[in-house]
Amino acid sequence: MGLRIVQVGDIHCDIAKLRALKSALRGIQLDLLAVHGDVECDGEILEVLKEISPKIAFVPGNMDDVGVSKLFSREGFNIDSRVIEFGDYAMFGIGGLSFYSSYSRVKEMMPSYRGKKILLLTHHPPLSEKTDLALGRIHAGLPELRELDEEFRVYLHMHGHIHESPGWEFIGETLVVNPGALKHGRYAYIYLEERKVELLRIDGDGK
């Protein structure tokens, strides 16, 4: 069986929804919990995330403060401006706190990993067709991130930030996933090798 990723973010300190997610995932294969930021809490929310999975990849969102970022760094989960490798994959992180400095560092590192399947976890979306549509149907995605996807043939790009447009799409060879906000009960279950996505939703009771 291939690797399975649960992607979640835009929690906005909703501990009840996070505990509901924990209940919903009980007994489900989970190889990595990818958290795309805007958690807006620190200690308690991190403990619940660790109860869901011991393997976490995190980037901060634009609503997170430096304290949140440092907390996840101390646990070894923060991949902002970093890369982690597992198997045939290299996962890079670009957070929303200092986007352009993180983007520049990642762009410098990526050429060294062309032999790997590249995964990208960002808070902000790339310029896209569906998953970057904000209020008013305005495309809020960043062209810099789309350029990374295209130049380095990114295998999977996971992002958040845009609550209004949960979904997934292919941009060239890149599978782009926006699960929506966990604050609204939304998350994604990703079958990595198969490049299949399930967009899921829970209510406050974890159903």
Each residue's pLDDT tens digit, 66-104: 999 999 999 999 999 999 999 999 999 999 999 999 999
Domains of the chain: 4-201 (3.60.21.10)
Question: Could you report the per-residue pLDDT of 4-14, keeping only the tens digit for each?
Answer: 999 999 999 99
**Taking the model in full, what pTM does it have?**
0.95
pLDDT of residue 27: 93
Confidence band (pLDDT; 50, 70, 90) for 206? very low
- Selected residue with higher pLDDT from 42 and 44: 44
Task: Tell me the percentage of the chain whose pLDDT exceeds 90.
Answer: 93
Query: Is 90:83 a contact under the CB 8 Å cutoff?
Result: yes
pLDDT of residue 43: 83
pLDDT of residue 6: 99
Question: Could you report the per-residue pLDDT of 129-167, keeping only the tens digit for each?
Answer: 999 999 878 899 999 999 999 999 999 999 999 999 999
Question: Above 80 in pLDDT, residue 204?
Answer: no
Alpha-carbon span 9 to 168, nearest angstrom: 15
pLDDT of residue 207: 39
Q: Tell me what the pLDDT averaged over the chain comes to.
A: 95
Torsional sign, CA 202, 74, 110, 40: positive
Alpha-carbon span 77 to 55, nearest angstrom: 8
Task: Tell me the percentage of the chain whose pLDDT exceeds 70.
Answer: 97
Element (H, E) at 7: strand 4-8
Query: Is 36:5 a contact under the CB 8 Å cutoff?
Result: no
Question: Above 80 in pLDDT, residue 203?
Answer: no
pLDDT of residue 42: 77
Confidence band (pLDDT; 50, 70, 90) for 64? very high
Judging by DSSP bridges, how do beta strands 156-158 and 174-178 pair with one another? Answer: parallel
pLDDT of residue 1: 63
pLDDT of residue 115: 94
